Structure 1
Amino acid sequence: MIKKETLFLFLTLLLLNISCTSNKKPYRDTRNRINIVSHKGLHLDSIAPENSLDALILAERCGFKSVEFDFTVTSDGEFVMMHDDSLNIMYRNVADYSPLKTTVNCHENTLSDLQEKYVLVSPNPSFRRPIPTLTEFLNKCSELNIFPYIELKADYLTNPLALKAYKTAMQILGRGNFALTCFDSKVIDYLRSTDPELELYCDIFNKDLVGFNYTFNEMIRNNIEYYAFYKWLTPDAVKTFHEAGKHITVWTVPKEDYDETLKMNVDVILSDDIAPSLDYSKAIVQDQTDGTFSNYIGGSRNNNILTLEKNETLDFNPDLLQDSIYLGAVYIIIEAKGSFKLESNELDSDKNASLKGDYTTYYYQFIIHNKRPKLKITALDNSVQIKSIKFAVCKF
C-alpha cells in the first residue's frame, strides 16, 4: 500500500511538471506581421557555415525569431545538421583541413566517426567545428529563445526515426515551440497520426519530385500547413489555405524577390539574405523623406514630389553613412511611378510601373556583411515620380 506522504509527493511533483510545461512561452514572434525565417542560419558571404550552430547564433544576433535547419541521419540512427547526405562540400578532414578525396555519406558513418574525423569548411578557423546534432541544435534554440522549423531529409528516414526527432524536440522545447517538415508525405502522415496538434508543413505533389502526393484538400483535412516553393505558389492556393485558417510558408526567397513575394500575401518567408523585421533600437540610420528629400542628391522637387528624367540618378547622401558595417541590414520602402533601377549594395532591381494611376509601393530588406550601405535610383524612363522613400540601416 502506498503511503500518504509518498502519494502526496508524487502528485505535487506531477502538478509542478504540468505547470512548468504549460507556462512555457512560445518562441515564435506572434506580432501581426510577416515572419522572416533564417534559412540554414545566417551564412551569407561565408560569414559562418550554413547549417551550423554559429550560423544559428548569428541569426539570433540579427534579430531573427525563427530559423530553418536541415537534418539527416547517421548509420547509428542519430540526426545531424546537414542538407545533403554527402559531407564532401561542407566538411574537411580534421587532421589537416584537407578536402575529402572520397565520398563521405552520413548514412554510412556513425555519429562519433563523423564528429571525430571532419570539421565544417570556413575561412574563419574558429567556425571549423564538428557536425552538430539535433539535440545540440534544440538546446541552443532553447537558450536563444528561437523557434525552429526542423526539416527532416527524406533520404534514409524511417517512421521510427521521425518519431525519435519529434520526441527529442518535445522533450527539449515543448509543445508549440517548434515545427516539423519533410518532403515525404508518408512521414508527415505518420507524425500527424502520432500527434494531432503538432505543427506540420509539407508541399504538394510535383511530378519532378518523389514523395509528394498531397492535394490541398488532403492537407487541410489532415491539419497540415502549406510549405511551398515560392515560384510554384498560386493565388488560388493562397486563397484556399487562408480560407481554411492555414498558413502559407514559402522557401527559399532571395532578397530581389521579396517585394513580389509580399504581394502574394504569404505568412512566412524562408530566406538566406532577407532581413528580419526592422528593430528600431538597432537602427543607425532612419530617414523618411516627407516631401523634402533633403538627404538625397539629384532630381527635381515640386509639390513634395521628386522627378527624375531618363538616366538621371538619385543618391542617398553618402556622407551620412558609415564606411563599412561588419553585420547589418538595409530597409527600403519606395512609393513611385514609372520605370527605374534600384541599386543598394548587392541588390540590383528594375521596377516598371505606369505613370498613370496610383503610386506603387516597393519593399526591400536584406542583410549586409562587411559593406558600406548605399541607395541609388536611376530613371529608366522620363518623368519618373517618387512620392516618398523610407530608408533605414541597422547595425548588429
Structure 2
Amino acid sequence: MTDYNIEYKDHIVENPNRFRQTVVAPGIVDLVPIWVENPSQVIQEGTPVNADLFDKLRANVTRRSETFAATASQTVFNLTKAYLVGQGRLDVYISGVKQRSGIDFTETNPTRFTLSEGLDAGTVVEAVYFSASQALSEDLIEQVQAAEAATIAANDAADEANDAATGALTANLNWKEPVNNLTALNALASPQARDTRQTKDTGNVYRYDGSAWVLIQTMDPNAINALDTRITTQLAEKANQLQVYMSQSNATRYFAHRGASNVAPENTMAAFEFAGELGFAGIETDTWRTSDGVWVCIHDETVDRTTNGTGTVTALTSTYINSLTIDGGLNVALYDGLKVPTLEQYMRVCKKYNCVAAVEVKGTGASAYLHEIIDMARELGMYNQLHLIIGDQATATALRAIDKNVIIHHLTGTSQASIDFVKGLGNTVAAMVYTAITPAVVESFHAEGIPLSTYGMSTLSQILELLSKNVDFIIADNHGGDVK
C-alpha cells in the first residue's frame, strides 16, 4: 500500500502492531486499527450502539487499498466499496506517484474515479480510500478520539515501564573494554567500583567491588560457536561488546556493515545470517541492478574483487552473476559455494531476524528504478524496515518524488546548506564518515530534528567515543549489537 492513512502515518511508524492488515482479494488490502475490533473497545460503557452505527465507525477508520493493472488507454476505474466524494478521502497513485484530485483525476461517483488521460497497458494504478459512504457524527468522533488517546497513553506507559526495568538491570554494571586474562585485569590502574570487564582467555566476567575483582559470570567461549577457533573468539568478543553497547545507550542503533563481514565474506548470505544471529538492529548492504533488471548485493562496480568472474555488474546478466562463486573476503576458505545474493534474498534474511534493511543504492541511472526496491519491500512486508542509503542529491530528490515516507540515509556534509537539504527531504537521516562527527555537528543536526548515522570506524574505542556524542546509527565493520 502506498500511503495507508495520512491521519495515522506516525502511528504506523511508531506502533506498527496496532494495525491489522487483511488481504481481501488479489490487489485489495484493508488496514484496520486493532482498537476498533469491537464496540466495547471504543464506545463508552453503557452507551447503546447498534450494528449499523458500529459498521459506520469501522468504515470511517479503515483504509482500503485497491491495485489495478491498466488496459491500453483506460481512464475509468471502479472500486469495490464506496467513499465520500469531495471529502478528500480518495488518493490515487500511478506507478507509485500520487495524483492531484480535480486535475489528474476526478471523483466520478462513490465507487468510481476517472483519470484525465489514458494509460499504457500494464501501468499500475493504486487507489487508497476510506471505505465509508456516510460521515461519522460529532459525538462518535469524540469517542473514537478519546479511545485512540487512551491507547497511546497505555503504550507510552508500557514503554516507560520497560525502560525503567532495563535501567534497573544495568544500574550496577559499568562495562569496560575486555582484557586478555586475569593477570592483565589485576594489573589495571585505578579501577572504579562497578567497573565490569570480561577476560578474553576464559570469557569470564568480573566486577570491581571497590577493593577486588569479583567473578560474576563464567563462560566457555568454545560453546558459542564450534565452527572455527578464530570465529569462536570473534563471536565471544561480539557477545560481550553487545552488552557494552546496551549499557552505554538506549538510543543508538547498530547496523552490520555488509553483514557480519569480519566473520564471513562481505555481502554474502553467511554474513547476513551471522549479523541477524548476533543481534544487530540492522544489516547494511550495497546493491546494483543487472542488465536484465535483477538487484544483487555486491559492493564494487565490478565482480572482479570478490568473485571468480569478471565484468561490470550493470553490464552482466543475473544468470551469469549467479553462476559465479565468491572467492574473496574474510574467512572465505571456510565457506564452500557462496554466491552473490539477490536483494530479495537479503531482505528475507532481514525479515527473518526483524532487522532494518539498510540498502545503499549504487549505479548511474539507478534513480529510474528505485520504485522496484520499494515495491519489493512492500511485497515482502519490509517497507517499514527499509532504509535507503543515497549518495547524491539528485537521486535523493528523485526518491522523494516517488515516496515521501521511506527512510533515507543521505551521505552529506556538515554545512548549513547540507542541513537544509536533508531537512527538506523529510524522513531523512544525515550520514557521514565518523571523522566528521563532532559534538557541534551532532548538535547542529539534532537542533533541526535530523538524526545522524556514521560509518568507517573499526575499533571499540572509536564506537564508544561516538556513543558519547549521541549519534543515532552506527554502521560498523567490527563491532555491534542491538539496543532495541
Are 2:227 and 1:19 equivalent residues in the alignment?
no
What's the CA shift string for 1:79-126, capped at 9, x where partnerless?
Answer: 11011111111112xxxxxxx5xx422122100011114434353454
Q: Is the 8 A contact 1:120 1:131 kept in 2?
A: no
- Alignment length, in residue pairs? 247
**Partner of 2:238 in structure 1?**
none
Q: Deviation of residue 13 (structure 1)?
A: 4.2
Aligned counterpart in structure 1 of residue 316 of structure 2, from 109, 119, 123: 109
| Identity value in percent | 20
Amino acid aligned to 1:197 = N
Are 2:293 and 1:90 equivalent residues in the alignment?
no
Pick the structure with more strand per residue. Answer: 1
**Partner of 1:141 in structure 2?**
350
**C-alpha distance in structure 2 between counterparts of 1:273 and 1:181, whole Å:** 20
The alignment yields a C-alpha RMSD, in angstroms, of: 3.2
Q: Which secondary structure does the structure 2 equivalent of 1:246 belong to?
A: coil
Q: Which secondary structure does the structure 2 equivalent of 1:85 belong to?
A: coil
Distance 1:20-1:228 versus aligned 2 partners, 3 A rule:
farther
Distance 1:197-1:48 versus aligned 2 partners, 3 A rule:
same
Matching of residues 245-260 of structure 1 within 5 Å: 245-255=449-459, 256-260=461-465
**C-alpha distance in structure 2 between counterparts of 1:177 and 1:240, whole Å:** 26
Pick the structure with more helix per residue. Answer: 2
Q: Deviation of residue 213 (structure 1)?
A: 12
TM-score (norm 1): 0.56
Aligned counterpart in structure 1 of residue 254 of structure 2, from 16, 36, 40: 36
Amino acid aligned to 2:253 = N
Distance 1:231-1:62 versus aligned 2 partners, 3 A rule:
same
**Partner of 1:156 in structure 2?**
364
Amino acid aligned to 1:180 = L
Q: Is the 8 A contact 2:433 2:454 kept in 1?
A: yes
- List gaps (5 residues or longer) in structure 1: 1-9, 24-29, 93-99, 207-211, 280-396
Higher relative contact order (CA 8 A, sep 6+): 1
Q: Deviation of residue 159 (structure 1)?
A: 2.1
Q: Deviation of residue 270 (structure 1)?
A: 0.8
Q: Is the 8 A contact 2:255 2:282 kept in 1?
A: yes
Amino acid aligned to 1:241 = F
Aligned counterpart in structure 1 of residue 423 of structure 2, from 220, 223, 246: 220
Q: Which secondary structure does the structure 1 equivalent of 2:31 belong to?
A: helix
Aligned counterpart in structure 1 of residue 287 of structure 2, from 52, 63, 71: 71
**C-alpha distance in structure 2 between counterparts of 1:15 and 1:111, whole Å:** 28
Are 2:471 and 1:266 equivalent residues in the alignment?
yes
Q: Deviation of residue 252 (structure 1)?
A: 2.3
Flag the structure with larger Rg: 2
Are 2:266 and 1:50 equivalent residues in the alignment?
yes
Q: Which secondary structure does the structure 2 equivalent of 1:151 belong to?
A: strand
- List gaps (5 residues or longer) in structure 2: 1-21, 36-161, 164-249
Matching of residues 1-396 of structure 1 within 5 Å: 12-13=24-25, 17-19=29-31, 32-44=250-262, 47-92=263-308, 100=309, 103-121=310-328, 123-124=332-333, 126-153=335-362, 155-205=363-413, 215-223=418-426, 224-255=428-459, 256-277=461-482
**C-alpha distance in structure 1 between counterparts of 2:349 and 2:29, whole Å:** 22
**C-alpha distance in structure 2 between counterparts of 1:218 and 1:277, whole Å:** 30
Q: Which secondary structure does the structure 2 equivalent of 1:17 belong to?
A: strand
Amino acid aligned to 1:43 = S
**C-alpha distance in structure 1 between counterparts of 2:369 and 2:440, whole Å:** 35
